[in-house]
Amino acid sequence: MNRKVSFTAMEHGTREDYDLVEIQEARNAADIADRVLAWLRSMHGQSPYRISRLDHSLQTATRAERDGADDETVACALLHDIGEVISPRNHSEVAAALLAPYVSEKNRWIVRHHGLFQGYYWLQHYGRDRNARDRHRDHEHYEACVEFCARWDQVSFDPAYGTHPLERYEPLVRELFARPKRTFL
């Protein structure tokens, strides 16, 4: 891209400047599925678990698919830990922010809170409250998040489980990020 905006401070931008910015943002948006798939592939490496982080994500998606979950939920199961690539300490929030413009409020909420809800299975080993998730007990998606973690996430560290390969889910990822995005402005 050779053309540049005319401003050095956003307050001085013109419609033509912002049209130029929008062209570049549209190109970036068109490539998001490729970037996300590359991030998933990068999760196939060393892990303290018995399987890689990629295999965990694939196993979670495979379990969701086999349980009859809809395509959007299967995609969220696949991508629930994608935030690990850039921010392991708040990976749930990062993954939810990435998915927010493309998924339902329910699936966004589940992805955003799954890290806390997973704590049910391990926080007690560190003297912390395994029921910390219960502060959300009255939320309409609480039970759905409990189920997501119980049925698909916390059990998906099994090297013997017959997991589908990433290639099976590539069209699903591409379809998800090709959806018209919801805006939050």
Residue-wise pLDDT for 77-125, tens only, equals 999 999 999 999 999 999 999 999 999 999 999 999 999 999 999 999 9
Q: How many angstroms separate the CA atoms of 60 and 57, rounded? A: 5
Question: Is the pLDDT confidence value at 184 over 90?
Answer: no
Domain ranges of the chain: 13-178
Per-residue model confidence (pLDDT) at position 2: 84
**For all residues of the chain together, what is the average pLDDT?**
95
Per-residue model confidence (pLDDT) at position 62: 98
For residue 57 the two structure tokens come to 């994500």
Give, in words, the CATH class of 13-178: mainly alpha
CA torsion sign for 30, 31, 37, 39 is negative
Considering only CA atoms, which of 83, 82, 46 is closest in space to residue 173?
Answer: 82
Q: How many angstroms separate the CA atoms of 104 and 153, rounded? A: 19
What does the pLDDT average to over 159-175? 98
Query: What pLDDT digit, counting tens, does each position of 41-76 carry?
Result: 999 999 999 999 999 999 999 999 999 999 999 999
What does the pLDDT average to over 25-43? 92
Question: Is the pLDDT confidence value at 26 over 90?
Answer: no
Helices (H), the chain: 15-30, 32-42, 53-66, 71-79, 91-99, 105-118, 142-147, 166-178
Q: How many angstroms separate the CA atoms of 180 and 55, rounded? A: 29
- pLDDT band at residue 183 under the 50/70/90 scheme: low
Considering only CA atoms, which of 67, 66, 96 is closest in space to residue 81?
Answer: 96
Per-residue model confidence (pLDDT) at position 1: 58
Q: How many angstroms separate the CA atoms of 160 and 97, rounded? A: 32
Per-residue model confidence (pLDDT) at position 180: 79
Percent of the chain with pLDDT over 70: 97
Q: How many angstroms separate the CA atoms of 103 and 177, rounded? A: 9
What does the pLDDT average to over 113-142? 98
Percent of the chain with pLDDT over 90: 90
Question: Is the pLDDT confidence value at 185 over 70?
Answer: no
